[in-house]
Amino acid sequence: MAVFNHPSFDEHEQVVFCHDKASGLKAIIAVHNTNLGPAFGGTRMWNYASDEEALNDVLRLSKGMTYKNAMAGLTMGGGKSVIIADPKNTPNREALFTAFGRFVNSLGGRYVAAEDVGTTPADIKIASSQTPFVAGLEGKSGDPSPFTALGTYLGIKAAVKHQLGRDSLSGLRIAVQGVGHVGYYLCQHLHREGAKLIVTDIHQPNLERVANDVGATVVAPQDIYAQDVDVYAPCALGATINDVTLPQLKAKIIAGCANNQLAEMRHAQELQQRGILYAPDYVINAGGIINVSFENQYDTQQSTAKVEQIYDTLLSVFSQADAQSRTTADVADEMARALINRAK
């Protein structure tokens, strides 16, 4: 399995393959860049189809964290970790995260882990028995999901303001793909402002909850792309904007909390050509890591105020992209790289 010439390798500083026979742990930790500080990033647990798929995911996600932290104005580098396991069926969770904590500790603080898709603050608490290099613990900054949802909601409002000239989401139709932890909180924000929600998820209990709580219309996973909506909000796994799905889209805005929404960078150009405004994922979904950044001296008001800055950051990206006739993805990348290089 090649790493240095892997298509998603982006001058990563360190990639660590972790295995613990006793617990069955199989994980990969990727430290992308530490110019701005230690690499912070969540720990994703997913039942990957192959080791290669897991490697590709961790390389892409860790790079995204570097850009995310830079654009959020944080003194943090970017990293990520993935655990290859079924998050819905992991009976030895305590042993697994104890072993994972030991591997995180072996990096001596170059990487700081938090929760992500498939993991919980309780899992990170187990890892903390082996290492101080974790964040998002209960009693400190806690679960970052509500803050990720808040930032995404404000990002949707910024996109609607720029693209549709509206300050309110009332009456708009929004398709939300993935209504688990963050997606559910996002739906609550959107519902309170009067948006009409169309949702999908691969887990039936998630759909039942959001349908009951906010009156959302449920559709099959494969049908979410073609819905006649104003906004498509991808909030599940990445690469949902691809050659198959892009021609189906009727939305004028793509703004959601999923990481790595574009399967390839060329899809940003295709979106621009179709007149679809794309909110760069690592800008709009930074609310969780912003909240985590206040871990040691936690203050909810300060954290919320910084999350709210996502609105203005996105408006700046959108306006620069228009002025320069470039994609929003390209503009955001350039802004992030400038901040990272300046720190070096």
| Of 218, 212, 172, nearest in space to 195 by CA | 172
Instruction: Please identify which of the residues 63, 68, 80, 157 carries the catalytic annotation.
Output: 80
Half-sphere exposure for 324 (CA within 13 Å, toward CB): 14
CA–CA separation, 57 and 260 (whole Å): 9
Strand 77-84 relative to strand 25-33, pairing: antiparallel
Assess whether 68 carries a catalytic annotation: no
Helix pair 51-71, 328-343: axis angle to 10 deg: 80
Cβ neighbours of 342 (radius 10 Å) = 10
Are 27 and 103 within 8 A, CB to CB?
A: yes
Catalytic residues: 80
